[in-house]
Amino acid sequence: MKNTGLRKSLVFILLSLVLVGFIGFVEKQSLYKTFQGSEVKIGGVSGLYFVEESEIRQIISESFPELKVGMMIEEVPLKEIEKRIEGHPFVKSVQATIGQKGILNLEIHQHQPIARIARPTAADGYITVEGLIIPTSPTYTSRVLILEGKHAEKLMNKGDVNSEMPELMDLIRYIAADKFWSAQITELEVNSPTDIRMYQQVGSQIIEFGDAFNLQDKFDRIKIFYKEILPRKGWDTYSRVSVKFKDQIVCE
């Protein structure tokens, strides 16, 4: 009899534990069906962050005041959140997902500046690796190739370098991708599509590049100027060198 009573007690305790566990599981599953907060992950560009987490959280709080802890997951407007955050000038793309624990995960990728258009009487602008023109950041400055000149300023109004002068993007990418040229060429003066001039880190000569075509041939001729002409004539002999004409190196 004692064994029977003991078994009944054990069964009762076991069933009670199962019931408590089931209730806890249901409550936990119910919890995961509601919004429980957000996490923001921003991919840096060369160690720089032009988009700050505080900006993203402010955008969300101002644009979606109804987004509170406890809100049903299916009511969280993921697409609208993505679209709103993509309105940030430095945001290239954003993916909004909700994890199993009810956390809104925001994975953000930034635009990468590759050059900067400098204007003496107006705000500057960055050129991204895709050729888009975006505003500069009030918080961070990226050390990139500088573009000046009348035509460079006109490009600011286009919003996309590729639509106006795709060959210029080829030139910018060529310089940025080469370790030597990215260190040596500090500025492009773009007066027109056929009048591009280069300024150097080392050397006071202005390099008249002409248009932005035949890049490899023109840079090969500039290297000849460095390796064969300057050692014989001296760095201070010439004030300009031109490679804009085919098969020629004109020094003055």
Query: From residue 109, how far is each of 36, 58, 128, 238 by CA, in Å?
Result: 23, 18, 13, 46
Q: Which residue has the tokens 């900006």?
A: 55
Helix (H, G, I), strand (E, B) or coil at 95: strand
- The matching CATH number, chosen from 3.40.50.1000, 3.40.50.10860, 3.90.1010.10, 3.40.50.11690, for 113-251 is 3.40.50.11690
Q: What are phi and psi of 103, to 5 degrees?
A: -95, 130
37: left (phi over 0), alpha (psi -120 to 50) or beta: left
Give the C-alpha separation, 91 to 209, whole Å. Answer: 34
pLDDT band at 11 (very low <50, low <70, confident <90, very high): low
Return the pLDDT at 142.
80
pLDDT digit string, tens, across residues 227-239: 999 888 887 788 9
| Residues whose CB falls within 8 Å of the CB of residue 107, separated by 6 or more in sequence, listed in order | 41, 43, 94, 95, 97
Q: Which sequence spans correspond to the domains of the chain?
A: 37-110, 113-251
Is this model's pTM higher than 0.85 or not? no
Going by their DSSP bridges, the two strands 145-148 and 185-192 should be labelled as parallel
Name the class of domain 37-110.
alpha beta
pLDDT band at 98 (very low <50, low <70, confident <90, very high): very high
pLDDT digit string, tens, across residues 177-202: 999 999 999 999 999 999 999 999 98
Same fold, 37-110 and 113-251: no
pLDDT digit string, tens, across residues 14-64: 655 555 454 444 445 444 589 999 999 998 776 678 888 999 999 999 999
Q: Which two tokens stand for residue 191?
A: 């007066």
pLDDT digit string, tens, across residues 132-145: 999 887 777 788 99
Answer with the residue of higher pLDDT: 11 or 149. 149
Return the pLDDT at 7.
60
Residue 103: half-sphere exposure toward Cβ, Cα within 13 Å = 10
